[in-house]
Structure 1
Amino acid sequence: MDISSALSALESLSSSTSTSSSGPLNALIDTHFTNAKSRILAGEDPRVVITELQKNVKNCKKEVEKGLKGWYGALGGVGKEVDKAFPPNLGAISDAYADPPLFAEPEAAEALDKAILESLGRRGIWEAVEAMEDETSLSYSPSKRDLSTQLQYILHSIRSSNLQPALQWCTENSSFLSSPPHPSSLPYHLHRTVFRSIKSQREAIEYAKANMMGYLPNQPVLKLITSCLYQSPLTKIPTNGKFNGGRENGFGKEGEGDEEGESEELQKMFQEEFCRRYQWSKEDPLEVTVELGSRGGTLDRIEKARRVMGEHLGNVRKWDELPMEVPLPPSRRYHSVFVCPVSKEQATDTNPPKMLTCGHVIAEESFNRLLKGGRRTVKCPYCPQETSQSVAQRLYF
């Protein structure tokens, strides 16, 4: 069948009474409704008349749907023949429908090189960083190199059961770690680990008095100290200064002795606070991307959509939103769009979201408007707590 045949089949339906909806509808209005009215006026039982009328309406509906089915089939046939006769050439309309190799454009290739260089520098693999700097025109920031070297040194020290570099860093950045709206508990967990590695009960208590009493309002310091006093004689007390399993609620359950697990948790906590201090991303962006694409199955879904839909809808790599759901673990579900609850406007790079002391989030422009009139603090629109301009933190989604 070609286009002419499909159009002829469609035209023949217009002259056919079997596919016309006007015939059944006219019969229903002119005949059945008129007869029903006359019978009711003549004194017949209305219930019997209405019951018969309902049957006639259902029969009329079936006849109309039958005719429409034929029309829909003929229209679908015309559409298929048009697609066959005029195949889409979307690539000639716009470059967005082209399907070039990934990272073929210079901007994309440079962005990929930057992501790889940042990942290598963040991990402290300096030989690879220097090799990439020689092969590309990129260079790793000396200040970021110093910070990354410091981070890797402290993480290595934690793995080696030496917490002093981490504690010294916490002391140097105590004002940041204790600042609202979310003061860090990292110093407490570091001191707690040192406390539990001390063999002598008296020395352990003295250490707690000197370093941990400031955490009484928010942490179970007294519970930790009393657990040291009432240890079972069978409890093994570490003598080598390494991590011991949790004897209180924290990283491990009582008596587990999961030294490796506690070390990993301390490293994770320290790295998060270090990145927050210097406004680095919480996780390595390249690592997250590779994990989502390879392990999460996202890449397979996108490539399948590209193959199936690309012929008619264009290159899915150019889309801002995907037309299908991709499998993501809860930790990888990011909210890339924030709408200010005050101005009802979407946040941008020039108008980023700001978190107040109470934890509520509004856009920066809304925050600045609330600061007008010489005010030094802003009262939260949702609670009575106030926030100064220096304390409000920018959020990165």
Structure 2
Amino acid sequence: MDITTALGALESLSSSTSTSSSGPLNALIDNQFNRAKSRIIAGEDPKLVIAELQKSVKNCKKDVEKGLKSWYGALGNVGKEVDKAFPPNLAAISEAYSDPPLFSDPEAIRALDEVILESLGRRGIWEAVEAMEEETSLSYPSSKRSLSTELQYILTSISSSDLQPALNWCESNSSFLSSPPHPSSLPYYLHKAVFRSIKNRQEAIVYARKNMMQYVPTQPVLKLITSCLYDPTTPPLHPPKSTNGDIAMSNQEAEEKERKDELEELRKMFQNEFCRRYQWSKEDPLEVVTELGSRGGTLDKIEKARRVMGEHLGNVRKWDELPMEVPLPTSRRYHSVFVCPVSKEQATESNPPKMLTCGHVIAEESFNRLLKGGRRSIKCPYCPMETSQSVAQRLYF
């Protein structure tokens, strides 16, 4: 469980009538008390009516306590996940940066506000964006606002199995999606999802012929079309030992899960292509920084290094850089500049990085120098594997 899951569980409790304390109380007041009053006025024994009313009050108390127990459990889970996400000594780390203090510089404050505003805008939380614009001198660009609104609309449509808005966007940006060096396969996977959702085989084949034949050179379109010839309703030769109802239910649940996973993958693919189209960062900057600083423990490691180095080198807190490497997960290793490990020179458009068969990367000029003497392949400077000139691939960071 993470923070998002814990908050989702807490939100579901707020919309559930079984965990609401107002429901049992309102029922007690509207039904039991009014009915007891009517019975006493009608002449029934007050002692008997009051005794029954006391039982109703006790039952109502149990219902309220049961609902509160669920709330306490959900709130406790949120607290636990917050403690896991943020180091408990984060406050001490913040105090340690009092010289110089964190975000005291106007430039740093503005940078933090810009990152937060960008994150809110990308998520389409416009009320928060407007509130932050009022509190700061920043403003979210109207052009990005319209793009963010479009992105959120299409992502929501994909989640609800409506892929037509995404397909319309792909058609409007077809020249960009098909251009090198990174032609996108997003349109194919969208059409594939539509194809798989069509129950009528003839209609599915007609759809594939109309929309998917252009992808035959690069994608297994023909294999996908011929898969319609297989009848998934045909029982297997040796069915599992369970009732037909159980088999149907398990198959239905598996299909629903597979469909949900497919839509989630399409959401990620579309968001990546949308951000690439408009030159947005692939991931939310605020989310990346928060994850690295909290879950990754980067702040904790940096503070420990400052403390150890400070004992030998004096006050190092005012240093702009530290001679240390912070371990990061593979997905968070960003290389905006590549330096060839052989020539020690930065890669450029005329001297791009090239990946060898073994996975090591060197600059193109270094690769060509190793090819001198009429050689058709080179030996990697770091391992015994050889790579020919036609196999070496250019990398784009």
Fold match (TM-score > 0.5)? yes
Q: Equivalent residue for 1:287?
A: 287
Residue 353 of structure 1 contacts residue 362 of structure 1 at CA under 8 Å; is this kept in 2?
no
In structure 2, distance between residues paired with 1:108 and 1:198: 53
In structure 1, distance between residues paired with 2:318 and 2:161: 47
Q: Equivalent residue for 1:184?
A: 184
One-letter amino acid of the counterpart of residue 212, structure 1: M
Alignment of 1:191-202 (within 5 A): 191-202=191-202
In structure 2, distance between residues paired with 1:234 and 1:115: 55
Q: Equivalent residue for 1:339?
A: 339
- Give the 3 Å change call, closer, same or farther, for CA 234–300 of structure 1 in structure 2: farther
One-letter amino acid of the counterpart of residue 232, structure 2: S
Residue 301 of structure 1 contacts residue 326 of structure 1 at CA under 8 Å; is this kept in 2?
yes
In structure 1, distance between residues paired with 2:175 and 2:232: 39
Aligned sequence identity (%)? 69
- Give the 3 Å change call, closer, same or farther, for CA 340–150 of structure 1 in structure 2: farther
Residue 353 of structure 1 contacts residue 361 of structure 1 at CA under 8 Å; is this kept in 2?
no
Residue 115 of structure 2 contacts residue 286 of structure 2 at CA under 8 Å; is this kept in 1?
yes
- Give the 3 Å change call, closer, same or farther, for CA 333–224 of structure 1 in structure 2: same
Match of 1:335, SS state, is: coil
Residue 155 of structure 1 contacts residue 267 of structure 1 at CA under 8 Å; is this kept in 2?
yes
In structure 2, distance between residues paired with 1:302 and 1:342: 30
- Give the 3 Å change call, closer, same or farther, for CA 362–201 of structure 1 in structure 2: same
In structure 1, distance between residues paired with 2:142 and 2:351: 29
In structure 1, distance between residues paired with 2:192 and 2:340: 40
Q: Equivalent residue for 1:320?
A: 321
In structure 1, distance between residues paired with 2:318 and 2:210: 58
One-letter amino acid of the counterpart of residue 320, structure 1: E
Cα displacement (A) at 1:337: 2.7
One-letter amino acid of the counterpart of residue 295, structure 2: R
Match of 1:232, SS state, is: coil
One-letter amino acid of the counterpart of residue 154, structure 2: I
RMSD of aligned residue pairs (Cα, Å): 3.4
One-letter amino acid of the counterpart of residue 316, structure 2: N
Q: Does 1:307 align with 2:303?
A: no
Q: Equivalent residue for 1:142?
A: 142
One-letter amino acid of the counterpart of residue 135, structure 2: E
Cα displacement (A) at 1:131: 0.7
Match of 1:132, SS state, is: helix
Q: Does 1:212 align with 2:215?
A: no
Alignment of 1:112-131 (within 5 A): 112-131=112-131
Cα displacement (A) at 1:320: 3.0
One-letter amino acid of the counterpart of residue 291, structure 1: E
In structure 2, distance between residues paired with 1:175 and 1:341: 37
Cα displacement (A) at 1:361: 10
Q: Matched residue pairs, number? A: 254
Cα displacement (A) at 1:338: 1.9
Match of 2:183, SS state, is: coil
Q: Does 1:261 align with 2:261?
A: yes
- Give the 3 Å change call, closer, same or farther, for CA 189–132 of structure 1 in structure 2: same
C-alpha distance after superposition, 1:305-335 (max 9, x if no partner): 2223235433357343442x43321111122
In structure 1, distance between residues paired with 2:280 and 2:152: 14
Unaligned runs of 5+ in 1: 1-96, 236-253, 364-381, 386-391
Cα displacement (A) at 1:144: 0.8
TM-score by length of 1: 0.57
Match of 2:282, SS state, is: coil
Alignment of 1:1-397 (within 5 A): 99-234=99-234, 257-313=257-313, 314-316=315-317, 318-323=319-324, 325-339=325-339, 345-346=345-346
In structure 1, distance between residues paired with 2:336 and 2:179: 26
C-alpha distance after superposition, 1:105-160 (max 9, x if no partner): 11111110011111111111111111111000111111111111111110010011
C-alpha distance after superposition, 1:213-239 (max 9, x if no partner): 00001111111111111132258xxxx
In structure 2, distance between residues paired with 1:276 and 1:355: 21
In structure 2, distance between residues paired with 1:215 and 1:341: 39
Cα displacement (A) at 1:102: 0.9
One-letter amino acid of the counterpart of residue 259, structure 2: E
Cα displacement (A) at 1:383: 6.3
Residue 99 of structure 1 contacts residue 315 of structure 1 at CA under 8 Å; is this kept in 2?
no
Match of 2:326, SS state, is: coil
- Give the 3 Å change call, closer, same or farther, for CA 267–361 of structure 1 in structure 2: farther
TM-score by length of 2: 0.57
One-letter amino acid of the counterpart of residue 321, structure 2: D
In structure 1, distance between residues paired with 2:149 and 2:363: 36
Match of 1:118, SS state, is: helix
